[in-house]
Amino acid sequence: MNCRHCKKTLKHIFLDLGFAPPSNAYLNKNDLKKQEIYFPLKVYVCKYCWLVQTEDYTNAEALFTSDYAYFSSTSTGWLNHAKNYADKIIKELSLDKDSLVIEIASNDGYLLKNFLVKNIPCLGIEPTASTAKVAEKLGIPVLRSFFGKNLSRQLAYKGKKADLIIGNNVYAHVPDINDFTKGLKEILKSKGTITIEFPHIMRMIEGAQFDTIYHEHFSYLSLHTVNRIFKKSGLRIYNVEELPTHGGSLRIYGCHNNDTRKTEKLVERILKEEKKQGLQKLTTYLNFKPRAEKIKNDLVEFLIKQKNKNKKVVAYGAAAKGNTLLNYAGIKKDLISCVYDAAKAKQGRFMPGSHIPILPPNQLYRSRADYILILPWNIASEIIKKNIIKKKIKQNL
């Protein structure tokens, strides 16, 4: 396999999580009687451009199906994050009724609705019908397609160039990151702005966040690597923000290479910090595997110990990262009896691989659980604040 960005041969494995079904391929009762499809979940690091990437095995269409079950609006914290961003960027870029905002992977309209209420024209690009339908009901125009250079040329030909292009947690999801980035340039107005948010691999390595690895994520990104990809496509990163979302993310601000805006000092500061943290040293990536294995082994040991004590353990949050953890550790419903989740699209279904049933949160009070394992740990405080967890159980978290 060659690197998806620089095309050099990949030789170094960052982490091998074995085989697992796609993390968002939730099952219904009939599916439990059918053969389940598993794919290898192996991640390589390129020692030339430092792009961390999954092994080639499938295509995006196999992962983002029409009944895709991830809805961004399920998380209150994420909705607040989206509104705060919209309020800030509208003011910063002086967006108005004559502007055009395009969001790639617009999901259920969680973000674009903030522009819609202020009469700022917008367009969502979203390949999954289940989420696009929800956005359209809000009055948001949605183009149901995967994004890339070919689509962007069609949009540009029709005069659909954007003052602002948004990509929140989509950059890691694209199999051809060079083509995607060239597409951004095609539909960006001469003085337009691109903002992209993605989990920062520096924070992932720092916190041993191996459960953020799953099939839908083709890439795991540093500012150094994204900066290289942007430069190759004729774009420039002129600013960056560090965000607490998803265990530590970056929001980059991009423009055309010849844009007159100056590059902020924070860009260079984070690039230097990445180098200091060893993100351009092979040993940093090769030392990740034993840390992941220890977390997995400690969790399995804990669950077996509770089972032997006749204690009941349940989980909260049927998140993709939870499926990575459960399948990597080989955890089934004999150790975790069920998972509770607020997303109606997941309720009544089963976790891929582990086949643990997913139940609505209002049944949690009757569970008589001794322990609750919060799988989407990045929003644990939000889950607890919603008072879903009984006071007597809180002490065990």
Supply the pLDDT for residue 59: 55
Indicate the SS3 state at residue 256. Answer: strand
Task: Enumerate the H helices of the chain as residue ranges.
Answer: 76-93, 113-116, 129-137, 149-157, 177-186, 201-206, 223-232, 265-276, 282-286, 288-308, 320-329, 380-385, 391-394
Sign of CA dihedral 22, 137, 75, 315: negative
* Interstrand relation of 39-45 and 12-20 (parallel, antiparallel or unpaired): antiparallel
pLDDT (average), residues 12-22? 94
Sign of CA dihedral 195, 196, 202, 207: positive
The answer to whether residues 117 and 107 touch, using CB atoms and an 8 Å cutoff, is no
Q: Which residue has the higher pLDDT, 133 or 23?
A: 133
* Interstrand relation of 122-125 and 142-143 (parallel, antiparallel or unpaired): parallel
Question: Considering only CA atoms, which of 185, 180, 178, 139 is closest in space to residue 161?
Answer: 185
The answer to whether residues 361 and 341 touch, using CB atoms and an 8 Å cutoff, is yes
**Residue count (the chain):** 397
**pLDDT for residue 14 is more than 90:** yes
Which tokens go with 302? 């804990």
pLDDT (average), residues 153-160? 95
Q: Calculate the CA 225 to chain-centre distance.
A: 18
pLDDT (average), residues 383-389? 69
The answer to whether residues 184 and 152 touch, using CB atoms and an 8 Å cutoff, is yes
**359-386 as b/e, with b when 16 or more CB fall inside 10 Å?**
bebeebeebebebbbbbbbbbeeebeee
- What DSSP string describes 137-162? HTT--EE-S--SHHHHHHHHHTT--E
**pLDDT for residue 60 is more than 70:** no
Delineate the domains of the chain, giving CATH numbers in brackets: 72-276 (3.40.50.150), 288-394 (3.40.50.720)
Supply the pLDDT for residue 64: 52
**pLDDT for residue 397 is more than 50:** no
For residues 241 and 197, give the distance between their C-alpha atoms in angstroms, rounded to a whole number.
Answer: 9
Supply the pLDDT for residue 157: 94
Q: Provide the mean pLDDT of the chain.
A: 92
DSSP bridge pairs for 54: 43
Instruction: Give 311-370 pLDDT, tens digit per residue.
Output: 999 999 999 999 999 999 999 999 999 999 988 989 999 999 999 999 999 898 788 899
Instruction: Give 26-50 pLDDT, tens digit per residue.
Output: 999 999 999 998 989 999 999 999 9
